[in-house]
Amino acid sequence: MTDDLLRWRSEFPTLEKTVHLISHSLGAMPRRAREALTQYADEWEDRSIRAWQEGWWEMPRTVGNLIARIIGAGAGEVVMMQNVSIANWIVTSCFDFSGRRNKIVSESLNFPTNLYQYHALAGTGARLVTVDSEDGLTIPLEKLLDAIDEETALVSVSHVLFRSSFKQDLAAITNKAHRVGAMVCADIYQSAGTVPVDVRVSGVDFATGGSVKWLCGGPGAGYLYVRRDLWPQLKPKATGWMAHEHPFEFKTGPIEYADDIFRFMHGTPNVPGMYAAKPGYETILEAGVERIREKSLRQTRRLMELACEAGYAVRTPMNNDERGGTVTLDVPDGRRVTDALLQRDVLVDFRPGSGIRIAPHFYTKDDELEIVIREIRGLLERGR
């Protein structure tokens, strides 16, 4: 069987050095990222202060436009941030939790950053309601929908859960939230780049994500999408001079928010981070998320079959519609096995309560799936 996506392998020299099955945690580095960082250094040295006018200032938007194409947003609707933690903090700062509509509905398997922030908001009147998982893998949709009511201000969910790779139904969640007057913030970090995301189709109000994983963009390039028609009514309390309508007037006094996506900015952006991230986005766009997804479903299924044949418990949904790009295996002594795999240049990771996380991406060869299972089996047999 020919695998057309493998032609991008040569763009990722790191793939020849290891068995890279860790794209849920750190995507492979594109060859062009090094060139982009050199370009950044050249501009810094050669153009000095003029570099801001020649592109740096606009980068949170121009680079955000690449993300917009990956997640179904329009041009100018995504702004780059340093990470999800900052993006989510800006989102929550748009809300007033002092009234009756003060509930934040989330899930117990959401990424900890999001939950830490909601707990920290308790002093502002926010009431956090987390929907529990019954099996440690999935979140029951009906229970989540039932928790969303007229007192809910914000619903915060991960599109794909980082622990189990369970994929949630964003459209159903948004539908219910909007029916009762609540807004939805989706953390799409574990989906964008491997699972098709369309913020317009799902209707979410906010989406946050980053580039370290499936987008192969490295650290320091998070992003925030905000539904355009909501901009005029949203006034983030977490703000800064770059969110001002006229930042170079350096006015003191209360902020006058920009009327575009920059109203969600704060201070100086991570320019080198955005340079490094661009080649990853461009590659994902060239390869196409639909094709990446098709391959991911095939390879994750194959991994699960191999794991089942070897007698390991799979802690990831079997159903294609409910699965993101990662397969989690619960094997005895998972942490020790993971450490030993890393020493053998087989890159995976371990999450307590779930197991060994393994992620093929568009550049993964089929034999690498056989290798990881063979290595796990060997390590477990030798450890007996």
Ligand X SMILES: Cc1ncc(COP(=O)(O)O)c(C=O)c1O
Q: Please give the residue ranges that form the binding site for ligand X (CB under 6 A).
A: 83-85, 111, 113, 158, 162, 187, 189-190, 210, 222
Nearest distance from C-beta of residue 185 to ligand X, angstroms: 11
Beta strands across the sheet bearing 355-358: 313-314, 327-330, 355-358, 349-351
**Is residue 165 a contact partner of residue 111, using CB atoms and an 8 Å limit?**
no
Q: For 55-71, give one letter per residue: b (16+ CB within 10 A) or e.
A: ebbebbbbbbbbbbbbb
Nearer to ligand X, 189 or 312 (CB): 189
CA distances from 172 to 3, 33, 148, 185, 256 (A): 34, 38, 12, 13, 35
- Beta-carbon contacts of 89 under 8 Å, excluding residues fewer than 6 positions away, are 117, 238
- What is the DSSP code (8-state) at residue 373? H
Longest dimension (CA), the chain: 70
Nearer to ligand X, 190 or 338 (CB): 190
Nearest distance from C-beta of residue 189 to ligand X, angstroms: 4
**Is residue 206 a contact partner of residue 77, using CB atoms and an 8 Å limit?**
no
Whole-angstrom distance, CA of residue 84 vs CA of residue 114? 9
Nearest distance from C-beta of residue 358 to ligand X, angstroms: 15
Nearest distance from C-beta of residue 136 to ligand X, angstroms: 17
Whole-angstrom distance, CA of residue 32 vs CA of residue 35? 5
Nearest distance from C-beta of residue 145 to ligand X, angstroms: 21
CA distances from 325 to 50, 258, 348 (A): 42, 37, 13
Nearer to ligand X, 118 or 162 (CB): 162
Nearest distance from C-beta of residue 187 to ligand X, angstroms: 5
Whole-angstrom distance, CA of residue 40 vs CA of residue 46? 10
Nearest distance from C-beta of residue 2 to ligand X, angstroms: 32
Give the CA count within 13 Å in the CB-facing half-sphere of 253: 5
Nearer to ligand X, 57 or 206 (CB): 206
Nearer to ligand X, 27 or 334 (CB): 27
Nearer to ligand X, 349 or 368 (CB): 349
> With the CA atoms of 279, 281, 285 and 290 taken in that order, what torsion angle do they form, in degrees rounded to the nearest 10?
140
Nearer to ligand X, 77 or 187 (CB): 187
Nearer to ligand X, 210 or 269 (CB): 210
Nearer to ligand X, 18 or 113 (CB): 113
The amino acid occupying position 60 is P
- Beta-carbon contacts of 122 under 8 Å, excluding residues fewer than 6 positions away, are 128
